[in-house]
Amino acid sequence: MNFSHKKFYRIPIIIYFIFYINLFLIHPLRAQLQAGKEKYLKQIPPAQANSPNIIFIVADDLGYYDLSVYGNTCIQTTNLDQLAYEGALFTGGYATAPICAPSRAGFLTGRYQQRFGFQFQPHQRYPKSKFEWWWFKNLINTNDLEPAPWGHFPPVHEWQNFGLPTTEITLSEILKSAGYATAWIGKWHLGYHEPMLPQNFGFEYTYGCYEAYTLFAEKNDKQVVYAPIHEFTDKHIWKNGRKGPCAIRKHGTIIQEKTYLTYAFGREAKFFIEKCGNKPFFLYLPITAPHTPYQAPKNIYDSLQHIPTHNKRVYYSMIVAMDQMIGDLVKYLKSVGKWENTLFIFTSDNGAALYSKTVNNFPLNGGKFTFYEGGIRVPLIIHYPPKIKPKTIIHEPVMLFDVFATILDLLHIPLPVDRKLDGMSLWPLLESNETKHHTYLYWYSGYNFAIRSGNWKLIVNQKDKTMELYSLLNDQGEKQSMHETKSQIAFELLAILNAWITEIPKPTWPQIMDYTVRINGKKCTWAI
């Protein structure tokens, strides 16, 4: 295969034509989408008296093998394991992105986030000048992260507009329109300013932080063990503390939270459920564990003395604390008679963060920021006694945006028809064990592209000028590329991937960082 031939690494010219068309049509399109959204939400049928409650828990940077039910032998995640044994465990669950915010935008809307410009991580600020960019690039140690090449960066007055577009239809807005009580408790990371805050997307009860991270406890808390890491973003997190978007807010008001944050999320979840009375509820619980900063309850840390490495012990202690919080929530639901009629979904927004130098995703390759399995394959557990048999195992590849269609299918709510939806209901897999779901799954971020079809997975990196083809049936660790011996398959998938890319508009905001890491003995770069 001739890797020097430019046509294999150039986005088709038609994409640029589409980009320019978007520049002229963006305002009419927004008006059309907004009108379609309003019309759709007015037509949502009301929830029935016995409508199921819904709890959707999303861990942050939790690796595929971090739970004991998936094979972790360092700790026991007893409560999540029990939910998996009593319900369904997915071995092929995927996030739409290997990084927090784009992934969340995808599963809350039921479609690829790139369709509405949410291709990259939004940031609070961007370089204001070429000098500022040069200073950041050359005088600040950013470790494995590096400022992207100088290009067009948005002016200051545009920064506050970056986040989830209000023209998108979210799961929470649909359920609120159906008469559900709704709550967001945890991490938002889909916009820092009005109107892109959770209360504007159908959430009535709100508690948490708007940023990608915040402290789990005050720095002087003697009941908490700390493990700062020598990494650029972690230093930034500790410096920020709970200021600005990192502050804990309840119903929009900043509060001083003294409880270890994972436990505080559980406490607020119970408060919300209690307030609902007999009204069906939707609880979106995107907790911050085990994202940095690494802080864990001391009593759990002390109980894991068999883990000799301090940072790793803190990391796994955070996961145990998360599992305990979930177990406490389940116990509460059972005590108030709501458990049997509650659809419970647990997952992670992306894979584990290898840049922390604390954990690994073995036997999966890569981690957060990458399109290797370690960055995008995530744990997925669904529990609902009325429809899911115990010990159900689903091997078919699915995407987290399928949660959107799955919930609406359960409630007999029709899907929006005025825009392209990508998620599909999981009930055929869960109830009749169908073996065919998505024909293709796609990932796209800047110069990085990937596609999965059956057991084949193609990864293209325009910046590094590489193309890799893996058979996940025989090589889930993605160690041996078959792009040369199976070149026909590689080019067929490349053509399908390029055709899909032509549907995607220009990103609403630019990429700001590159992540460089050595994988399979080679240095590779990822746009974030």
pLDDT band at 494 (very low <50, low <70, confident <90, very high): very high
Q: Please name which of 276, 288, 418 lies closest in space to residue 353, comparing C-alpha atoms.
A: 288
Q: Taking residues 355-364, what's their average pLDDT? A: 89
Does 100 map to a domain? yes
Q: Taking residues 180-188, what's their average pLDDT? A: 98
Does 272 map to a domain? yes
The answer to whether the beta carbons of residues 271 and 193 sit under 8 Å apart is no
Q: Strands 53-59, 342-348: parallel, antiparallel or unpaired by DSSP?
A: parallel
- How far from 275 is each of 262, 264, 339, CA to CA, in Å? 20, 17, 16
Residue-wise pLDDT for 501-527, tens only, equals: 999 999 999 999 999 999 988 999 999
What does residue 383 show for φ and ψ, rounded to 5 degrees? -125, 125
Q: Which string of DSSP letters, residue by residue, matches 400-446?
A: TTHHHHHHHHHTTPPPPSSS------SHHHHHH--S---S-EEEEET
Residue-wise pLDDT for 314-351, tens only, equals: 999 999 999 999 999 999 999 999 999 999 999 999 99
Q: For the chain, what percentages of helix, strand and coil (3-state, to nearest 5) are there?
A: 35, 20, 45
- Identify the DSSP state of 340: T
Residue-wise pLDDT for 185-199, tens only, equals: 999 999 999 999 999
Task: Give the E-state strand segments of 188-290 in sequence order.
Answer: 205-209, 224-226, 249-250, 253-254, 281-286
Instruction: Give the whole-angstrom CA distance, residue 136 versus residue 147.
Output: 7
Q: Which two tokens stand for residue 433?
A: 């064990």
The most confident of the ranges 19-23, 219-223, 493-497 is 493-497
Instruction: Give the whole-angstrom CA distance, residue 427 versus residue 502.
Output: 31
β partners of residue 296: 225
The answer to whether the beta carbons of residues 116 and 168 sit under 8 Å apart is yes
Is 245 a residue whose pLDDT tops 50? yes
- Residue 219: per-residue pLDDT: 87
Residue-wise pLDDT for 365-404, tens only, equals: 999 999 999 999 999 999 999 999 999 999 999 999 999 9
Instruction: Give the whole-angstrom CA distance, residue 433 versus residue 269.
Output: 33
Range of the domain at 422: 6-45+52-527
Q: Which amino acid is at 480?
A: Q
Q: Which two tokens stand for residue 168?
A: 């998108």
- The three-point CA angle 519-525-526 to 5° equals 110
- Residue 1: per-residue pLDDT: 36
Does 393 map to a domain? yes
Domain containing residue 144: CATH number: 3.40.720.10
Instruction: Give the whole-angstrom CA distance, residue 189 versus residue 120.
Output: 12
pTM of the predicted structure, to 2 decimals:
0.94
The answer to whether the beta carbons of residues 145 and 527 sit under 8 Å apart is no
Does 428 map to a domain? yes
What total number of domains does the chain contain? Answer: 1
Does 1 map to a domain? no
- Residue 49: per-residue pLDDT: 80
Is 24 a residue whose pLDDT tops 80? no
Instruction: Give the whole-angstrom CA distance, residue 409 versus residue 18.
Output: 33
Q: Taking residues 127-141, what's their average pLDDT? A: 92
- Identify the DSSP state of 246: G
| Residue 112: CB atoms within 10 Å | 27
β partners of residue 394: 90
Greater confidence (16 vs 508) lies with: 508
pLDDT band at 432 (very low <50, low <70, confident <90, very high): confident
Is 23 a residue whose pLDDT tops 80? no
- Residue 26: per-residue pLDDT: 52
